[in-house]
Structure 1
């Protein structure tokens, strides 16, 4: 019997097997006008406005997944497949989004679909304990080192491309729209990623983080130092600016976001610097956002970290 995988959404059913692919309801066009008449189906309302993504349920086990449309054989799908295959898939430092399945479109061989776990943004909901942040920082920085060791420059590892896996905390699943959480960080969206046998200079200004100072269409720069800047900038914008008592991150953030790329640490050096910081922070337990201060004080809470 051929291998067979089916994915169900309220808009369409997509099936794939090793001998034949069948595409019912237009998954090749995730914004199909025909589907727009199904107002009684909640999945007609898109998740974040990305026509190349849709949530679905894997029918074999009810697992909530994302299906992403890509160009067949493009760099993103090649790198994602490499990182999701043995021996890299079982490497503990590999925190990239795993590819559960990949198949081609029936009607257009230039289009393929990657099936991934359904993940959430790192602040939906926000972290509440110091241990959560320590775990997050460990995973993100060791994941950056892992990519560097295998020659992968992400080039877009910004806030919206770093997700959390809620499956461990919610084994019975959760609604794809409602707010749930857990802590297992994942790096995703490898559309700008490249594999380099050794350090090399690149050009280009694409990417969500436009604060990277060296981005240029004309002057070559080191893509691995760009990754270091983006992660440091994410720590600053998403944690230092939003939470209290995060001054302990300042030395790390400053070194990772130096304007001169040559003055920034490597991924391995940034991880080592973080590991020296976390020895102290491992004992702390509570994170409070600046917007929560009034409520916390009225509620009688004495500490921010304790």
Structure 2
């Protein structure tokens, strides 16, 4: 039987790779966690804590090309990603965050804060991005939070398409959020339900009362078109297998695919889950029409959404999300509890 006290002292192969880059990354202004620094001595050897209860006993996840770090200039947690030369994702992400595009309020492409070459492997480089969370972690709680999410996603889709970029994989997995205002004390990059030490209680603020921004990520299979160039591609790549026109032989319009993907994401994760999001139904039906030519373009979809959104009352947007599986009695009880909780949370937020 293995001894965890010994096993956790041994760095995995991917961890060694990052440890060997630590001093270089530090020279660029980014500090890795203690486990990934040269000369690291496990804290549990002197603290008496179990490795499973020590921050430097937390292993790096399996994704060998990414790691979290702290930007030394301001203490902000960032995300480092190793990419190959002429990488499509890096090229598109950098172009969308270039001047003056980064100042456009419609731009919801992940910010690229820094880039620099790997000193060891020719052609490899690093991208530095904000450390983001999945958009439904923690889960959406109120109708207004969903409204804000749909607003930003559709704005970002229109912006991308205006730049001639079709994402082609814009599922929920490729949308992230900057939740820094929700977690003012920060959170651990691996154990994200805990504080920075990986184990303490996480202090949070309700999503409804703070500013949250959502971003598109991962342009690995995206396509870029020049003005006037035909918008046709082939290929079966992408997470969502529901798109009816995907084909490896028959060309299709990737911009229409993006509209379907966004509509299908709204259907599966929002409209299909919660009963009081009826205002999304028309949007979902139009976006997921089985005939691509019958779907609205992204800017038309945004206009349809704004028309629906502007009919919603402030009270409706303040209400909690009701899961479709709830029984009537459960709904009444939870609605009452939610109203009290909303008032309490709002007053607490004002006082902190």
- On whether the aligned pair clears a TM of 0.5, the verdict is yes
Q: Choose 123-132 or 90-99, whichever is displaced more.
A: 123-132
CA gap of 1:282–1:56, structure 2 versus 1, over 3 A, is farther
Which of the two has greater strand per residue? 1
CA gap of 1:199–1:171, structure 2 versus 1, over 3 A, is farther
Number of the residue aligned with 2:216? 187
Number of the residue aligned with 2:33? 9
Number of the residue aligned with 1:178? 192
Deviation of 1:119 after TM superposition, in Å, equals 0.7
SS in 1 for 2:188: coil
Give the TM-score normalised by structure 1: 0.83
SS in 1 for 2:310: helix
Number of the residue aligned with 1:208? 239
Aligned counterpart in structure 2 of residue 44 of structure 1, from 59, 67, 70: 59
CA RMSD of aligned residues (A): 2.5
Structure 1, unmatched stretches of 5+, are 14-23, 26-37
CA distance in 1, matches of 2:220, 2:292: 23
2:133 is the counterpart of 1:120: yes
CA gap of 1:289–1:126, structure 2 versus 1, over 3 A, is farther
Deviation of 1:106 after TM superposition, in Å, equals 1.7
Structure 2, unmatched stretches of 5+, are 1-26, 40-50, 194-203, 340-352
Give the TM-score normalised by structure 2: 0.73
Deviation of 1:173 after TM superposition, in Å, equals 2.1
2:304 is the counterpart of 1:290: no
Preserved CA contact (<8 Å) 2:161 2:298: yes
Deviation of 1:268 after TM superposition, in Å, equals 0.5
Number of the residue aligned with 2:287? 256
CA distance in 2, matches of 1:68, 1:106: 15
Deviation of 1:267 after TM superposition, in Å, equals 0.2
CA distance in 1, matches of 2:325, 2:289: 31
CA distance in 2, matches of 1:259, 1:292: 28
Deviation of 1:11 after TM superposition, in Å, equals 3.7
SS in 2 for 1:103: strand
Aligned counterpart in structure 1 of residue 144 of structure 2, from 122, 131, 153: 131
Residues 248-283 of structure 1: per-residue CA shift (max 9 Å, x gap)? 211110110111111110000100000000012252
Preserved CA contact (<8 Å) 1:104 1:113: yes
Preserved CA contact (<8 Å) 2:243 2:257: yes
CA gap of 1:300–1:105, structure 2 versus 1, over 3 A, is closer
CA gap of 1:281–1:109, structure 2 versus 1, over 3 A, is farther
Number of the residue aligned with 2:45? none
CA gap of 1:62–1:202, structure 2 versus 1, over 3 A, is same
Residues 59-118 of structure 1: per-residue CA shift (max 9 Å, x gap)? 222111111121122111111111111000111100111011112222112222111111
Deviation of 1:129 after TM superposition, in Å, equals 1.8
Number of the residue aligned with 1:29? none
CA distance in 2, matches of 1:231, 1:160: 12
